[in-house]
Chain A
Amino acid sequence: MCGLWINRDVEQNAQVADLEALCRARYRHFLRVATLITSDHGNAHDAVQEAFAATIKSLPSFRGEGPLEAWVWRAVVNAAKKQQRQSSPAGLEGDDGPSASSHNGDMAETRLVRTWVASLPERQRLTVYLRYYADLDYQEIATALDVAVGTVSATLSAAHRRLRKTIEEVPQ
């Protein structure tokens, strides 16, 4: 009994160490996506830290289904969406997408991509964020958004189609 308790404790400490390494290595990536979701840097910090804290608290129930990072991403996305809902009840649909450094020297491509992101429905936009800002593979995105891998693939394809259409509509 005692041995089992110690083993579980050691295992959880190892997972906390993994989380710490992940936090130190990828904090800015989590923060970037959280900022995009919440549209507020302070709220994004809160969301990321709350997400890591919640993950630590729920480690006893983590059974290793999927990578730990994807699990954290799910917590970050949920925490950021919660923050966003609290500060702007309209939801993510009202989000204009990334625009932090796009005002000076806006190129045509930049404007086009920004418009494209802003036009995406919430799920497609989150999928795009996780794919291109977080560099997650389809399986990790599926875990993070709690959807099937096929859904991730279809969602990204739809987002790409929309961008292609936007590009084609731009006058030469």
Chain B
Amino acid sequence: MIDVEPLIRTELESLMPLPEGSGRDWADVLARSGRRQRRSRRLLVALAVGVCILAITSAAIAAGLGAFSGHMTIADVKACKASTTALTTASGARVLTGHTDAGVYCLTYENASGGGGSTAHEFPTPAGEVIPMRTQGVIVGLVPAGYDTLTLGSVQIPIVNQAFVVDPKLVVGPGTLSGPAGQITINLSELAAGP
């Protein structure tokens, strides 16, 4: 029996050699399939998702670090579990201290009529070894353990359970924290100068 396969292979190849192709062919295929446009759409969706993730991450970081001078993020407010009453003023206002879920110090001030605010931060802040907040016309602060007095000029303000409340008008310059832990300088001037 004649083996016709070699003959077929040889002759078919000479009858019809491989035609020319081009590098554009795959690009044309993609264009026909609409794949390129879908890729672009997916890229936009991925970009949008990335922006969302970035925003959420930023909010989480802000919640973790807290906001200075009483400007709280929603995450801060929700995270602040200020459960311990550090001190109560003569007017009936309370200063509560605690930690956020992230372990950041937080501070809440509530006056007798229910007004107030919260802040969350880590030590130190731009003011020094104090987490300060201006709210309801007062400056409230949380300091590290080991300090019992805040001296502003000639005025001495007691620190109770690491917290103090002070009238912004008393802040005429840097203040001093003193106690068993020693003496350190803090600066509430910027906060006091604010609205």
Contact = CB atoms under 8 A, between A and B. Distances in A.
Interface of A: 16, 20, 23-24, 27-29, 31-32, 35-36, 41, 45, 48-50, 52-54, 56-57, 97-102, 109-110, 112-114, 117, 128, 132-133, 160, 163-164, 167-168
B contact face: mostly helix, strand, loop, or mixed: helix
A10 B20 CA distance: 33
For chain B, give the interface size range.
Answer: 20 to 34
Nearest to A129: B12
A contact face: mostly helix, strand, loop, or mixed: helix
Contacts of A41: 19
22 contacts: A20-B26, A23-B25, A27-B21, A27-B26, A28-B19, A28-B20, A35-B19, A52-B33, A53-B29, A56-B29, A100-B16, A102-B14, A109-B11, A113-B7, A113-B8, A113-B15, A114-B15, A132-B8, A133-B12, A163-B8, A164-B2, A168-B2
- Which of B7, B17, B33 counts the most A-chain CB atoms under 10 A from its CB? B33
A160 B16 contact: no
Nearest to A36: B16
B61 to A, nearest CB: 24
B18 interface: yes
